[in-house]
Structure 1
Amino acid sequence: MAHTIPLKTPLDDTGLPRRSAPAAPAPAPAVPADTSRYHHPNFVSAQPSPGHIAFRFRAFTGLEPKPEFPAAAYDDTALNWQLRGDLHDQYQAARVLWSHAWLRHQARPLLHQAAPLWTAWTTARDELTAVFEQFWSTSDGHWRAQLLRLTDAERAAAAAADAFDTVAAKLAQAVADQIDAAGWDEALELETVAKELGIDASDWPVRHVDDYSHPLPQYRIVRGGTAYWGRATPLAASAAQLIAGHRERLREVADLAGDFDPAHSALA
């Protein structure tokens, strides 16, 4: 009787044991493209972290050119989308740091210039308020002299407001340029820069740059003793409103008193 014996090794067509084909060598891992030639000159290192990359740079002075993504990297076929994306992130981080250094460099002399101008304005404003309040204790026979003191105080306050606004406009432009470079989410507060210099700018009305290139409409402005309606920059507008409020109160009193003194009617 025939018996079958299972073979431990399968036979091929020649009747010989089948040999396993040698395993193909594993492909060599792809070598990532070298992007160092595209790094920003201030770049030091990049440390991958979950969800982001932490970039380190040498300190910026603000005098360097604005960091711009190198155009040649767009045409480099050795770079894939991931490498280009990492380079974009690197240059975005560089722009943020550069813009902060740039704003500090631009704003430093302007802040030092604005500080005494702000003090001059607050002094002139307080003097104007004090002169107006003196009408409560000024006798009728001395109103003309008090009106002269009031107009002097008005002119001083208006001039002080204009002087501050002139510098504030430059600060507003510097702030706008920093935001333009880095984006609103990376805006550096002007008050922060001032605090680093030991200057308290928390009360300074440095508004959006458009408020200086397109002044606020319809405020009563007093210049050279003449009152008219026009456009004013932010602090000048505040001064004009203060002056207009005083003038309106004096006109109201003159009307109630039936006073037709030229000195009073000049307030109209």
Structure 2
Amino acid sequence: MTRTIPLLHPLDDHGRLPRRPLDETSRLPQDVREAADALAAAAAKPQLSPAADIARYCHPHYLRAEPTAFGTVTFYFRAFTGRESRPEMPREAWDVPALTWEQKRELDSQYTVAQSLWSQGRLRIQAAPVLRRAAPLWQAWTTAQSELREAFEVFRHTSDGMWRAQLLRLTDAERAALDAARAWDAVAEELSLLAAEQRRDAGEEHELELETVARELGLDASDWVIHWPDDYTPRSYSWPHQTPLVRALTAEIEQQRERLMEVARLAGDHETTPV
């Protein structure tokens, strides 16, 4: 009996099995094929030049960068004291051809954060002595303001014969309050300028509040009146110039005097009218 064996491939024209192509890998083990594919893919990728490493351009305080869940990057640095030089991205980094635009943007962002942290350290150093000097001046102002208001309120219970004596006490309280207001506005302007400089270097999103720095020093600055720097600058169209607290106090004094003059007119007593 004749036996037959089925062929996997048809015979060629000469009755022979065809040869398999030399580069065919379909019968190689799967892990070998995958390794070969990975090597081929790696060889096909362009390799970065060693010059593309950005480490040499990072700030000396830079530690690492980590992506966040929101698609941003958090940069970590060693603590800044504020006594270091202002962080500035090296100019030559922009001209390195091997650095990609993304790498340059990353460096720029890194130095922006570094500058913010540095500016906060610098504000702590610069503002600390001014804040300590400001604390007793604010206390002196609040005391003088209270004494002025008390001197005015006494008129409600002052007999007619004592008005002139009480007017003298009121004018003394006015002068003391004005001196205290001028002293406060002077130190407040210093603090305002320091805060504005830090805000300009760090941006509003990284602003360090003076109240925070004061609290770190054990001071309560929550009710201190500190205006923008421009409010302390004389303007050509505003004469005479008055600083913010002096301006507010002057308005209060004028209101008190108008009230006293109104009462004097109604009483027909012009001799006790304040000047």
Q: Same fold (TM over 0.5)?
A: yes
Aligned residue pairs total 247
Task: Please report how far the alpha carbon of residue 109 of structure 1 lies from its aligned counterpart in structure 2 after TM superposition.
Answer: 0.7
Task: Please report how far the alpha carbon of residue 18 of structure 1 lies from its aligned counterpart in structure 2 after TM superposition.
Answer: 6.3
Query: Could you tell me whether the CA contact under 8 Å between 1:69 and 1:87 is conserved in 2?
Result: yes
**1:103 lines up with 2:105 in the alignment:** no
Question: Quick check: which one's helix share is greater?
Answer: 2
* Cα offsets for 1:97-155 (capped at 9, x unmatched): 11111111111111101100000001100111111111122222222221111111100
What TM-score do the two structures reach when normalised by structure 1? Answer: 0.83
Question: Quick check: which one's strand share is greater?
Answer: 1
Greater mean alpha carbon deviation, residues 70-79 or residues 31-40: 31-40
Provide the aligned C-alpha RMSD in A. 2.6
Quick check: which has more Rg, 1 or 2?
2
Which residue identity lines up with residue 74 of structure 1 in the other structure?
W
**1:145 lines up with 2:147 in the alignment:** no
**1:250 lines up with 2:260 in the alignment:** yes
2:199 corresponds to which of 176, 179, 195: 179
1:43 corresponds to which of 42, 46, 62: 62
1:22-171 matches, cutoff 5 A: 25-26=40-41, 27=43, 30-31=47-48, 33-50=52-69, 51-171=71-191
Task: Please report how far the alpha carbon of residue 19 of structure 1 lies from its aligned counterpart in structure 2 after TM superposition.
Answer: 3.0
- Distance in 2 between the 1:245 and 1:28 partners? 84
Identity of aligned residues (%): 49
- Distance in 1 between the 2:207 and 2:103 partners? 27
SS at match of 1:231: coil
Task: Please report how far the alpha carbon of residue 54 of structure 1 lies from its aligned counterpart in structure 2 after TM superposition.
Answer: 2.1
* Cα offsets for 1:228-260 (capped at 9, x unmatched): x83321111221122111111111111112222
Query: Could you tell me whether the CA contact under 8 Å between 1:10 and 1:17 is conserved in 2?
Result: no
Query: Could you tell me whether the CA contact under 8 Å between 1:118 and 1:164 is conserved in 2?
Result: yes
Query: Could you tell me whether the CA contact under 8 Å between 1:10 and 1:18 is conserved in 2?
Result: no
Q: Could you list the runs of 5+ residues in structure 2 that have no partner in the other structure? A: 1-6, 25-35
2:248 corresponds to which of 212, 226, 238: 238
